[in-house]
Chains A and B, each alone.
Chain A
Amino acid sequence: MFEDRKLLVTGGTGTIGNSICQYFNNNGCEEIYSTTTNLDKVKSDQKYINFKEINLNNIENLDLDEIFEFDIDYLVLNAGLNRDNIFLRMSSDDWNSVINVNLNSSFHLLKHFTKKMVKKRFGRIVFISSVVAHTGNPGQVNYTTSKAAISGMVKSLALELSTRNITVNSVAPGFIQSNMTDKLSDDQKNSILDRIPMKKLGDSNDIAKAVGFLCSENANYITGQTLHVNGGLALI
């Protein structure tokens, strides 16, 4: 499905990022790049991915021309960070690092890669958002803000780039079994399960398939949209 195309997924060592890389690899994509904060996190079965060790919190000071000297067809902005706390106890550091990694890094990466996509007249950009961007979530003012901001970015960018055959969409996962939801207590998990009509957490492959769809030829006429993959948790 993705033969002769090149993919960059930020945060490829996370559960969802890893599943996305695997899905594209299984479907013919031979050139896959990713980023990680620490190359030690790269697992032995991820050798097919070209990892770049960068800190997205500090991306403004990096020379992206040097790090990403290649062009790509698919850009999946997946890297995300959460630093949860009730708002009244949230530090500026927790606010800034989440906004930097989840939102500002996308600005810089997009500035770098969209120029090349415009020139090629092809590009598929997919953001990984979150259900809580649309519903709110106590304890996650920073995280939900960063993810909700992506909605505006998706729509405006989609409008700006549509004449060049570049689509911009997002996938909004619900609660997915991942390194992020593993941190939740059993009580928290049970109360979430009660609210999910399908009565189970999502699998990271469910997200990978949605991303794959938006990058595939089946989605050529879809842009500026959010695809909710949440087992019915929120119908938006």
Chain B
Amino acid sequence: MSDIEERVKKIVVEHLGVEEAKIQSDSKFIDDLGADSLDTVELVMAFEEEFGCEIPDDAAEKIVTLKDAVTYLTANSN
């Protein structure tokens, strides 16, 4: 597991209160992990804070799984 994936997973576990073992890279935050729409906004804010980058709204809307987040942050974080 990449360092980025590990940090993203930690945020998801902490924020959504789900067991780490239940998170697959293609798990959808809303459909599979019980997030509501505001949770997804909060997750993006937490990613921004952790990775020191700004995720614009149009990109944020496309981040629906762990994998989406890791892919975006790998390409865009410092």
Q: A: which residues have CB within 8 A of B? A: 115, 118-119, 160-161, 163-164
Contacts and interface: CB of A to CB of B under 8 A. Distances in A.
Interface string B35-62: 0101001100100000000000000000
A115 B42 CA distance: 8
Contacts of B36: 163
Interface residues of B, number: 5
B37 to A, nearest CB: 8
Contacts of B45: 115, 119
A163 B38 contact: yes
Nearest to B49: A119
A164 B41 contact: no
A163 B42 CA distance: 13
Contacts of B38: 118, 160-161, 163-164
Contacts, number: 12
A118 B38 CA distance: 8
12 contacts: A115-B41, A115-B45, A118-B38, A118-B41, A118-B42, A119-B42, A119-B45, A160-B38, A161-B38, A163-B36, A163-B38, A164-B38
B38 to A, nearest CB: 6
Given A115-B45, A118-B38, A119-B45, 9 more contacts: A115-B41, A118-B41, A118-B42, A119-B42, A160-B38, A161-B38, A163-B36, A163-B38, A164-B38
B11 to A, nearest CB: 13
A160 B38 CA distance: 8
A37 B35 CA distance: 41
A118 B43 CA distance: 11
Q: Which 9 A-B pairs have the closest CB atoms?
A: A118-B38, A164-B38, A118-B42, A119-B45, A119-B42, A115-B45, A163-B38, A118-B41, A163-B36
Contacts of B42: 118-119
